[in-house]
Structure 1
Amino acid sequence: MDTLRALSARLDEASATLTLISHTVTASDPAQAAFGADAPGRPGEIGRALHRQWTTATDDRAREARAAAGRLAAAAAAVRE
């Protein structure tokens, strides 16, 4: 029984870590200027496109981390039952 309690605690810890990651992965997104989005002409267009792609990718990873955290929390609850 102690092994199952330890397992559920580790699953809860992993869930909490992923939840934290899901919040912090987008919190440190660089500004558009870091991608050269404020440059005139084609370089600026490319910079804006890169920034959009970066934002989309980090939003997707945050969403995936939240989903995985939910699954881990559910697994921890199932182990405790």
Structure 2
Amino acid sequence: MDTLRALSARLDEASATLTALSRTVTASDPAQAAFGTDAPGRPGEIGRALHRQWTAATDDRAREARAAAGRLAAAASAVREAA
């Protein structure tokens, strides 16, 4: 029983870590200017496209982290109920 309780606690910790990560992964996104979005012409177009791609990718990773955190929390709950 203690082993199951310890496992559920570790799953809860992992869930909390992923939840925090899902919030911070997009918080440190570089500004648009870092991609050269304010440059004239083709370089600016490329910079804007790169920034959109970066934003979409980090948003996707945040969403995946939130989903994984939810699954870990559900697993922790199931282990607690079994204990």
Q: Which TM-score applies when normalising by structure 2?
A: 0.97
Question: CA deviation digits over 1:39-59, x for unaligned, max 9?
Answer: 000000000000000000000
Q: Distance in 2 between matches of 1:20 and 1:51?
A: 23
Q: CA shift at 1:31, angstroms?
A: 0.7
Q: Distance in 2 between matches of 1:31 and 1:42?
A: 19
Q: CA shift at 1:7, angstroms?
A: 0.2
Q: CA shift at 1:29, angstroms?
A: 0.7
Q: CA shift at 1:37, angstroms?
A: 0.6
Q: Which TM-score applies when normalising by structure 1?
A: 0.99
Structure 1: runs of 5+ lacking an equivalent? none
- Say what the alpha-carbon RMSD is for the aligned residues: 0.3
Q: CA shift at 1:2, angstroms?
A: 0.6
Give the aligned length. 81
**Matched residue SS, 1:30:** coil
Structure 2: runs of 5+ lacking an equivalent? none
Q: CA shift at 1:36, angstroms?
A: 0.6
